C-alpha cells in the first residue's frame, strides 16, 4: 500500500467511524464489546476495498480456518517448550528447576547511578563506571575495614568457652564412619527419592 492508497484508506475509515457512531458507544460496557468489534471489522473491510484487491480481503473458510491456525500455533509453542525443557535438562539444570518449581526470577538492573561530585549531583550512565561506583559503595558502606574488633565486656563473655558444654563431645567428629554406621543411616532413608550428583538412588529394598 503506497502513500496515496494509505491516505485514501484512512479517509474512508474515518468517514465510516463517524457515520457508524462507534465513538458514542460505552467501551467499558462488556455487552457492547462484540457489537463494537463487529462494526470495526466491517469498517476495515469497507475502507480496504478502495486500495486492496477484494480477493485478498474476503477469504473463504476453506482458505483460512482460525481454529486450525490457533491449534497449530499452540502445538508449535508446546513443542518448543518441551524441546527447551529437554535441552535445559542436559545443559542448564538451574533454569529447568526454576521452571518446574515456578520460581519468580527477580533481578535489579543498574543502568544509571546518581552521585555527588564537587557538591553537585551527577548522573552516570557509562556501564563500566557504574560497576566501579557500585563496587566501591558496597565495599565502603560500613565505614570500616576488616580488623580485629575490641568487644565490650558484655559481648566478650558470649565468646568464652562455656563450662556447661563437654569439650570431649567433638573428639570423634572427624573419625571415619564404619560400614555398619553407614548401612544404619542408609536404612533410615526414604525410598524413591531423586538421586544427587552421584546419580545413585537411595532405595534400600
Nearest to 86 by CA among 73, 78, 124: 78
Residue 199 pLDDT level (bands cut at 50, 70, 90): low
Q: Which pLDDT value is given to residue 1? A: 52
- Which residue's C-alpha cell is 480496504? 48
Q: Which pLDDT value is given to residue 180? A: 93
Q: Where are the domains of the chain?
A: 3-57, 66-100, 107-143
Residue 61 pLDDT level (bands cut at 50, 70, 90): very low
Q: Which pLDDT value is given to residue 203? A: 57
The residue-averaged pLDDT of 17-44 equals: 68
Residue with the larger pLDDT of the pair 18 and 129:
129
89-148: pLDDT as tens digits: 888 888 888 877 887 877 888 889 988 888 888 899 998 999 999 888 888 877 666 677
Query: What is the value of pTM for the model shown?
Result: 0.27
Q: Which pLDDT value is given to residue 26? A: 63
* 47 has a pLDDT exceeding 50: yes
**To 5 degrees, how large is the angle CA 146–CA 128–CA 140?**
20
Cβ distance 20 to 43 under 8 Å? yes
Q: Which pLDDT value is given to residue 62? A: 47
Residues 6+ apart with CB under 8 A from 185: 177
Amino acid at each position: 500500500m503506497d502513500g496515496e492508497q494509505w491516505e485514501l484508506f484512512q479517509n474512508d475509515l474515518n468517514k465510516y467511524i463517524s457515520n457508524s457512531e462507534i465513538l458514542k458507544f460505552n467501551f467499558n460496557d462488556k455487552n457492547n464489546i462484540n457489537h463494537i468489534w463487529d462494526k470495526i471489522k466491517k469498517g476495515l473491510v469497507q475502507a480496504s476495498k478502495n486500495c486492496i484487491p477484494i480477493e485478498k480481503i474476503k477469504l473463504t473458510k476453506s482458505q483460512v480456518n482460525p481454529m486450525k491456525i490457533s491449534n497449530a500455533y499452540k502445538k508449535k509453542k508446546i513443542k518448543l517448550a518441551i524441546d527447551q525443557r529437554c535441552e535445559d535438562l542436559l545443559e542448564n539444570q538451574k533454569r529447568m528447576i526454576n521452571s518446574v518449581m515456578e520460581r519468580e526470577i527477580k533481578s535489579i538492573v543498574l543502568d544509571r547511578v546518581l552521585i555527588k561530585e564537587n557538591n553537585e549531583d551527577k548522573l552516570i550512565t557509562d556501564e563500566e563506571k557504574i560497576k566501579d561506583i557500585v563496587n566501591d559503595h558496597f565495599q565502603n558502606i560500613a565505614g570500616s575495614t576488616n580488623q580485629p574488633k575490641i568487644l565490650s565486656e558484655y559481648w566478650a563473655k558470649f565468646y568464652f568457652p562455656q563450662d556447661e558444654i563437654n569439650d570431649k563431645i567433638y573428639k570423634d567428629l572427624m573419625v571415619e564412619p564404619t560400614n555398619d554406621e553407614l548401612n544404619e543411616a542408609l536404612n533410615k532413608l526414604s525410598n524413591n527419592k531423586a538421586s544427587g550428583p552421584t546419580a545413585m538412588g537411595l532405595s534400600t529394598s
